[in-house]
C-alpha cells in the first residue's frame, strides 16, 4: 500500500469513522440525559398538582419508569464513555496525521511512513481491543437482565 493510499483509504477513513461514532454517541448520551432531566423535573410538579390532574399517579409512575429505563440503557450502552473514547481516538489519529504531514518528531526520519503506519495501527488496535472488551460486558449485562 502506498503512502497516499494509506492516508486516503485507511487513516482518513478511520478518522471519519471514529468522528461519526463519537458524534452519534454524544447525541444519544445527551438525548437520554435530557429525557431523564425532563421526566425527573415533571414529577414534583405533577405531585403538587395531583388534585387537579386526573391519573397523575399513573403519569408519575410512567415518568419514574422512563427515568429508570433511560438510565439503564445509558448504563448498558455507555454512550458517554463511547463518545469520549471515539473522540479521543479520532483526535489522536488526527494528531498523528498532522505530525506526519509536517515532518514533526517522530516523523522527521526517512522511515516516517513506517512509523506512521505502526503508530496509527497501534492506536486503532487499542480501540478495537477496548471495543471487544466492552462488547463482552454488554453481552454479559444482557444475559443478567434476561
Distance CA 120, CA 10 (A): 10
Give the chain's end-to-end CA distance (angstroms, integer): 47
How many beta carbons lie within 10 A of that of residue 33, not counting itself? 15
- Identify the pLDDT of residue 140: 79
Residue 119 belongs to what H/E stretch? helix 112-145
The reported pTM is 0.82
Distance CA 130, CA 136 (A): 10
pLDDT at 145 over 70: no
Distance CA 59, CA 39 (A): 10
Does residue 94 contact residue 15 with C-beta atoms inside 8 Å? yes
List, for residues 82-127, the tens digit of each pLDDT value: 999 999 999 999 999 999 999 999 999 999 999 999 999 999 999 8
List, for residues 28-87, the tens digit of each pLDDT value: 999 999 999 999 999 999 999 988 999 999 999 999 999 999 999 999 899 999 999 999
Amino acid at each position: 500500500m502506498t503512502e497516499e493510499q494509506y492516508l486516503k483509504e485507511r487513516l482518513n477513513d478511520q478518522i471519519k469513522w471514529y468522528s461519526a461514532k463519537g458524534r452519534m454517541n454524544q447525541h444519544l448520551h445527551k438525548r437520554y440525559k435530557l429525557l431523564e432531566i425532563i421526566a425527573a423535573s415533571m414529577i414534583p410538579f405533577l405531585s403538587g398538582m395531583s388534585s387537579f390532574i386526573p391519573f397523575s399517579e399513573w403519569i408519575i409512575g410512567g415518568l419514574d419508569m422512563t427515568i429508570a429505563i433511560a438510565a439503564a440503557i445509558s448504563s448498558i450502552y455507555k454512550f458517554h464513555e463511547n463518545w469520549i473514547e471515539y473522540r479521543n481516538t479520532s483526535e489522536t489519529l488526527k494528531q498523528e496525521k498532522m505530525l506526519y504531514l509536517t515532518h514533526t518528531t517522530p516523523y522527521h526520519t526517512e522511515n516516517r511512513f513506517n512509523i506512521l503506519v505502526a503508530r496509527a495501527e497501534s492506536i486503532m488496535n487499542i480501540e478495537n481491543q477496548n471495543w471487544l472488551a466492552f462488547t463482552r460486558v454488554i453481552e454479559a449485562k444482557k444475559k443478567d437482565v434476561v
